[in-house]
Amino acid sequence: MQLGEVPVRLKLMNDAANQLKQLVMSIVDMNTIAEGNLSTLAEINKLPEDVLVAEQIVPDGSVEKG
């Protein structure tokens, strides 16, 4: 190995480490968002049914706002 190769290899390793860190952080962010969505869904499921119905399709096919 030549002396000049060491900084290049260190930079490549550092770049790879930074990319891995970014990937892990994006997975953590996605997981956090998913958990937030799940807790939101859990809250929605606790609501009474009449609150959830914002609009209903009536038998004639039109949409009735609730």
- Integer angstrom CA distances of residue 51 from 4, 41, 55, 63: 69, 14, 10, 17
pLDDT at 3: 67
pLDDT at 1: 61
pLDDT at 20: 92
pLDDT at 46: 77
Domain that holds residue 59: 5-65
Mean pLDDT per block of 10 residues along the chain (66 residues) reads 77 91 90 82 73 58 56
Our count of domains for the chain comes to 1
pLDDT at 5: 78
Single pTM value for the model: 0.47
